[in-house]
Structure formats: structure tokens, C-alpha cells
Structure 1
Amino acid sequence: MSHIDVIPNLYQFLPELRTLTASRNNFRKFQITLGRLKQLEKLDLGSNQLDNFPHIELPKLNELILRSNKLLSIPHDLGKLFPAIISISLAFNRLVTLPRFENSSLIRIEADQNNIKYINHAIHAPKLKHLFLSCNDIQQFALPPQSNLNSVETVDLRMNSMKFISRSTYPSMPNVQALYLTHNDLTHLPIDIGDLTPHIHDFWIGENCIISIPNSINKMKMLQTLFAAYNNITFCPPLIGFKSELR
């Protein structure tokens, strides 16, 4: 099996290129000339040796795959550089935070398996539906002001170091349907968690340090799965009206 070390100047030969898949090679540097491929819609550089990503504009790019590299940072204005971006995969890198996302087309962010501790920059992505942040080092999940996750349906925060989630974060994602919080250090939930997450159907809070389940959980009328095993729970209200699987 051969591995490519350098991406040639593709613009010279393929100026209208729309898809570039160059995963599982040995690229250590990103060729800035790729920024000339203005028709590019999909760029897959997963499983390489990249430690940085240049500041280039790709106006038609809708899928960017950078998973399994050595990235320490990426451009802070990624959402503006790629205005048509729909999905971005940054999993299995060395990022310590996410860049500022200000984008009206973004639907999916994958940033699992990094070194992220905090979300320092606003995420203004009104169409975002899926946010994956499992296996990081997040201690407090708090979204900065001006964040907009009104359409987000799935938030995965499993296997972090969270002691609590800022109550002010929940109103920023009012339509969340699946919230995965297992394998953290949570000790309590907001007393009005049922009011804050009325559309939730999968609520995983197992393997934490939670001591009680708030009464408001009965307001989660769409709840299908509650996973709360391996906690320190001493109080759980009667669960009224649920017909689905509750664990």
C-alpha cells in the first residue's frame, strides 16, 4: 500500500474539481493552492498527519472531513470561509476548543475525541441539528452569548468531566430531542429540566453522581428512553403516563 506525502497542484489540471478524497495518507501540510478550487464541494483529508489548516475560502464546500489528524487549531471563522458547509468532522484531533461558527447552512458538527475543555466562541448555526462532543475534557458546558442552536436535535456530551451544565444553556437549544450525558461528574439536574427540554425523547444521565430526579421530569411528554443507572439517586418521583422504555 502506497501513501501520498504531497498533494499536487490540482487546480492546474482540474480547475472544476468537485470532490477530493485523499484520506489515509501521510499529508503533513495542507497545500494552500487547494484554495483555488472554487467548485470543490467535498474535501476528505481524514487520517493524515495534518497539524494545521490554512485560512482559505471555498464558497461551495458542503462537506469537510478532517478527522484523525493532529490538528491543534483551525481557522476561527470557519463558518464564513465555507458559507455552504453542511457537515464538518473534526473528531480524533488535538483541539482544545471549537472555532467560532457563524453559518446558516451547517447541520452537523463532529468533534469527538479531542482535548476540548470549554466552548469559548459562540455557535450561531440556526440549522444545526447534530453536535457531537463526546470523549473530551469539558468541565462545564456553557454556550457563549449569541449562540443559536434553535434547531439542534442531538447533543452528545458523553465521557467528559462535567460537573454541571449551565442552566442558561438549555434555552439556547429549546428543541433538543436526544441529550447524552453519561460518564460525567454531574451531581444534579435543573429543578425545571422538564420545562427546559419539553421535546426530549432520549435522556441519558447514567454513570454520574446524581442524587435525585426532579419532579419536572414528568413534563417530558415525549420521553422514550431515560437511562439513569449507576448514580447515587435517592429520590425519583413517580413516573406518570410513560409507555415507552424507561431505564
Structure 2
Amino acid sequence: MSHAYDWKQLIEQKPRELVFKDAPACKHIEEENGLNEIIFKLRTLNFLEISGTPLTSFPDRVANLDNLTNLVLRNNKLTSLPPDIGRLSKLKFIDVSNNCLEQIPDEVGSLTELQSLVANVNKLTDLPLTLKNLSNLTVVKIEYNKLEHFPTSLCDENLKHLAEIHAKNNSIQDIPSTIGKLLALKVLDLTENNITDVPGELGDCNRLKEVHLKGNKLSDRKLLKLVEQGKMKQIIDYIRGHCIKGGNKSAETLKETFADAKAKVREARRRRRSSSRSLDDREAHMETIKILNVAPTEFRLVTATPAILETRKIVCCIVRNVDLTRTGLVKKFLSLQSDLHDGLLCGKRKNATIASHDLSKIQGNIVFDVRPPAKIRLQPLGRHTEMHAGELYKVLNEEAEAYRKEKKRNAYSGVHKYLLLLKGKSRFPCLTDSGGTVISFPPITNSESTKISEETQHLFLEVTGDSQPTCKKVMDSLIHGMLKLGLGAELKDKNDAPVPSTLQLEPVKVVDPEGKLYVVYPSKVDLIFDDIKITRE
């Protein structure tokens, strides 16, 4: 909508929806020094979206829109919401993602019809003290905030329909035992927090299907291993069968439980000592992944914008001193990536996409972002000319159509079979180095400028996908396959004798534009294999 819109006519039309966002909205707000008053006289509105603007506050006159059921205020600069928002008695959906909110007003707890609360990528440290009146609430999304404790107001037995809580990438240290009151809970995502213990009461949520705890410092090693393996049913069964219900046990019972646990630990240590010699012999002949130590100031960084993290996640690492000189090894490495792409884990690139680059051809750090196709210029892998992503998408579609007509069947080859993943999207993901070169356009292609060859000595690997756990699993599989292919450079021990194949990994950090850590790979909980030894400098 432009600043010259006929507002009088708008009132006469009595619209039910109004979408006011991005450049036209910014221009209007700048010229009128705020939102036009007429917006808040459109009492017929059911749906209102005001997004992508420089607004830092929202007028309390929003309470006039008493028929509003959906309120979307994404990608603004809001630092607060008006308490009068609690008067929108018909509101069912509110999305205030990608703002600067430090709190949600307590009055939100009065929205008895509310079904979804989405407040990702803000600065929230807590939620309103009471939400017990939100008996229709089904979904809460509070990812990428600054919560240090799980909001206890979400653990209310009156929230009978609360099925999903998404709170990854905060600093949450605990899960309250009262979470067992959420009998409708199906999905709990606490990926990348600071949780050490999981209460057994979580197992009382008898509809629970998914518990995401990867990236936490769990003290229970068995649970930690199950989490890293992503075995969802086993994780939930383990929580129900082994995690302590602290809220329901007496101090004496807990004391006995911990005494039993200590006895089991002592027995396990005794067994390990008795078999240590044979274990040492076996490890001496195992292939090895060596995690290199990197000084904090020397970490290679990937900056991921909030816009891209809304739709696509990323995990990266560097592999040092690879040996691609043996005949056919480059081809085998590329075939490994293709096999992973076609497998269940990547799901034909729908779940995740792999890209490998010659590190020496990348300048500085990298930005992972989403842009209009015309703003992404690259020389696609295997092509001789530079073009923007929109042109490439068009060319690939034309090639696919010509192939279909020639073969007279709907079967495509190469990257053509992945074009549907971008259909209908107005912005595409890309990775750009410090020199402004686009090195990757996932899920379609890499850039010719960072193509690997037999001369490549250091690799930069990236996996982008629909979730961080999936990206990590794919990267684990890729690293495992690389080691088995023998990509590690030949090393020798102190006596100058050859040692089993070793792959040297250098961690890469992914941060947000403010420098907040999103993920580092490999972390101490990554790369768990039975047939490979992991060492760290």
C-alpha cells in the first residue's frame, strides 16, 4: 500500500484484511510520522499485518479493532506492545517475531480465544506471570530470545490444548517438574539451551511425540547419547523410565536413588579398568577424527540473518590437510555427497543440502542470508557465464522442460529435479564471502569460483536444511564417509611410523548479526561413532 492510498475509500469498502508491509509501508510511516489513524477505524478487520517497518511502538488504539482475529507484526523494531492489546477479545493468532521486545504485556493473558503466540527472535526474558485463562492456546513459539528459565506460566493445568512449545536457542537452564500438567503436549523443542537435567514429570505428558534437546549439556550420558542419535521414541521412553521425578520424591527416596546410581558408576568404572588394555589396543588401530583447537579470535564465522533462520538452518566446518590427489578421489567425494542427497536423511535435498568448497578460494568470513533472485549473482558450478539466481532458475526450468519433451516422461537429471523446492518463493537463500562473492545458492548449486579440485588442501563444508539437528546429522554422515574414503592426509606418530587415517576438523561458529552464538560445529556432543576415535587438541 502506498502513501497515496485512498483511505476514505478504504473505510467505505469495509475490508476484512489489511496487509501493510515493507518499502511502501516504510515510506508511508516516514511521511505521516506514524500509522494513519484510519487504520484503527477499520472495525471490520479480521486480519491485520504491519511488517518490515521502522515502528518502535504500536498504538494502543489497536483495541478499537474488536473483530480482529489475526495480528501480524513481524520484522519491525518494536520495543513494546500496548497493554490494550488484551482487549482484543476475538484474537486467535498473534505473531510479533523479529522485533526488539523485552517482554509481553501481562494483559495478553486475558486473550481467552488465543490459539497461537509467536514471538521468535526478540529479547524476551520471560512470559506473562499468568496464562491460565488461555484455555484455547495450542502453539507457543519463543525461539531466539534471552530466557534463562522455562516460563512457569506455560505449565498450567488450565492450558488443556497446549500441544507445541518451541523455545530453542535461548539460555534456559531448567525444565520445571510442573510441565507434567500439560497433558496435550506433543512437541517440546528446547534445542541449544543450557539444560542439564530433565524431570521425569515430562513423561507424564502422555501425548508427547517429540522432545528436542540437542545442544544442551545433559548430565545423563545415556540420555545425551540418545538425543544425539535423534531416536525420538527411545528418548521419550527413557525419560519416562529413568529420569527422576524430583517433585514427587521425598528427600530420603532421592538419597537412596543417588546411592544406587553411584554404586552403578563404581561398577562401570571397575569393568572399564579391567578391559582398558584391550580397548587401548583397539583404539590404536582405529581411524581418527582430530578436532583442532582454535583461538577465540581465529574462529571462522558464518553470520546468519534472522530472516534466513526463519526458513533454513546451517551447520559448517573446515577440514584441513585433505588429500584429493589420488586418481578418482574427487569424483568419489562428489558421489558421496550425491548419495547423501538422494538418501532418506537429506530427502532429495528437501530436508538438507550439502556444499563443499575450496577454502583457499573463500575470502574472510561468510554471510548466510535470503535475497531476491536478482540480487544473487554467481557463476554456477559447471557453467561458463555469471548470471543472477532468477536467470539460472529460468534456464534450469527450460532445460528440464526440453528434457521432458525429449524423453517423453517426467524424469529429470542433476539439479533439475530440485527446482520444485524453490517454486513460488520470492527470495532465495545464499552464502556470500567477505569479498561479496556468492559461493553457494542452496539447494541448487555452488559457485564455480570455489570449486574443489585435486589441488585442494583445505575444505569448507556447509549443510543447510530445515532444522539444525538434521543439518548436524547430515554433516556427521558426510565426515564419516570422508574418513572412510581416505581423504585425510597421511600422518605419522612420534616414531615416524604411519598411523590410521586421520581427518582434521576445524570448528566453525554460526552467529547472528549481533554476534550471539547460534551453533558451533563440531561441538563436544557431535560426531559420536562406534568405529571412529575422536581426539581433541
Q: TM-score range by the shorter chain?
A: 0.7 to 0.9
Structure in which a larger fraction of residues adopt strand: 2
* Residue pair 1:209, 1:231 contacting (<8 A) in 2 also: no
**Alignment correspondent of 1:31:** 36
Distance in 1 separating the partners of 2:201 and 2:155: 23
**Pairwise CA distance, 1:167:** 2.3
* Residue pair 2:96, 2:119 contacting (<8 A) in 1 also: yes
Q: Which amino acid aligns with 1:113?
A: V
2:117 is aligned with 1:119: no
Quick check: 133-142 or 97-106, which moved more? Answer: 97-106
Gaps of 5+ in 2: 224-236, 243-468, 474-522, 526-537
Q: Which amino acid aligns with 1:99?
A: P
**Pairwise CA distance, 1:13:** 4.1
Say which of 182, 192, 207 aligns to 1:183: 192
Say which of 105, 110, 116 aligns to 2:113: 105
2:48 is aligned with 1:50: no
Provide closer, same or farther for how the CA distance between residues 65 and 19 of structure 1 changes in structure 2, counting only shifts above 3 A: same
Distance in 1 separating the partners of 2:187 and 2:524: 20
2:175 is aligned with 1:165: yes
Provide closer, same or farther for how the CA distance between residues 146 and 156 of structure 1 changes in structure 2, counting only shifts above 3 A: closer
Distance in 1 separating the partners of 2:210 and 2:524: 18
Provide closer, same or farther for how the CA distance between residues 231 and 10 of structure 1 changes in structure 2, counting only shifts above 3 A: farther
* Residue pair 2:53, 2:75 contacting (<8 A) in 1 also: yes
**Alignment correspondent of 2:281:** none
Distance in 2 separating the partners of 1:11 and 1:38: 14
2:202 is aligned with 1:193: yes
Q: Deviations over 1:68-108 (max 9, x none)?
A: 0000110224232x111111110000001122321222111
* Residue pair 2:176, 2:199 contacting (<8 A) in 1 also: no
Distance in 2 separating the partners of 1:76 and 1:184: 30
Structure of greater relative contact order (alpha carbons < 8 Å, 6+ residues apart): 2
Distance in 2 separating the partners of 1:111 and 1:152: 16
Gaps of 5+ in 1: 220-226, 233-247
Question: Identity percentage over the alignment?
Answer: 20
* Residue pair 2:91, 2:114 contacting (<8 A) in 1 also: yes
Q: Deviations over 1:44-86 (max 9, x none)?
A: 1111111111112211111111000000110224232x11111
Say which of 72, 80, 85 aligns to 1:78: 85
**Alignment correspondent of 1:16:** 14
Q: Deviations over 1:178-199 (max 9, x none)?
A: 000110000001133212x221
In the superposition, the TM-score normalised over structure 2's length comes to 0.38
Aligned length: 219
Secondary structure of 2:94 counterpart: strand
2:240 is aligned with 1:217: yes
2:112 is aligned with 1:89: no
Distance in 2 separating the partners of 1:187 and 1:146: 19
Structure in which a larger fraction of residues adopt helix: 2
Secondary structure of 1:168 counterpart: helix
Provide closer, same or farther for how the CA distance between residues 170 and 31 of structure 1 changes in structure 2, counting only shifts above 3 A: farther
**Pairwise CA distance, 1:200:** 0.6
**Alignment correspondent of 2:332:** none
**Pairwise CA distance, 1:39:** 0.8
Moved over 6 A (4+): 229-232
Say which of 135, 140, 145 aligns to 2:144: 135
* Residue pair 1:97, 1:118 contacting (<8 A) in 2 also: yes
* Residue pair 1:142, 1:168 contacting (<8 A) in 2 also: no
Q: Deviations over 1:89-142 (max 9, x none)?
A: 100000011223212221111100000011243223111111100010110012
**Pairwise CA distance, 1:8:** 6.7
**Pairwise CA distance, 1:152:** 1.0
Distance in 1 separating the partners of 2:13 and 2:59: 19
Distance in 2 separating the partners of 1:162 and 1:6: 47
**Alignment correspondent of 1:153:** 163
Provide closer, same or farther for how the CA distance between residues 141 and 65 of structure 1 changes in structure 2, counting only shifts above 3 A: same
